Amino acid sequence: MLTDLLRDAGHQVISFVEKAVNDEGRTEIKFDFVKWINSKDGDEKFIYDYQGATGTDLVIYVGPSGTDAWAEIGAAYASGIKILGLWAKGEPAGLMRKMVKWFVDYRDLLMEVRKISEK
């Protein structure tokens, strides 16, 4: 929903989840994870995710998410990229949550995106 709303507002969205679903053609993916990490496809996904996190104007984190997402947040933060987050019950973030400007309502997050894009 958030991806669609952002695109409807004219933003270019790089979605890691969307790419995985499109590449594999389904949401329930079962495979040898370690073998995949060391494969050409794993390399391509790593580059896509890393470049998406470090080569953009803004990163939006939707929680709760996994350890890879938090690594991407760290890479974005270290690159000086603004990070907004949609807080969800069960979010495991500890001290590093300080890297993110948090929102509990997607509408407030979208208003912040609008403010940022008008600058």
According to the model, what pLDDT value does residue 31 have?
Answer: 64
> How does DSSP assign 66-100, residue by residue?
-HHHHHHHHHHHHTT-EEEEE--TT----GGGGGS
Bridge partners of 101, per DSSP, are: 84
Which pair of structure tokens corresponds to residue 108?
């407030």
Which pair of structure tokens corresponds to residue 77?
């933060």
Mean pLDDT per 10-residue segment, the chain (119 residues): 87 76 59 81 90 94 87 96 91 88 95 91
Amino acid present at 74:
G
| H or E element, residue 49 | helix 40-54
Structural domain boundaries in the chain: 2-118
Bridge partners of 113, per DSSP, are: none
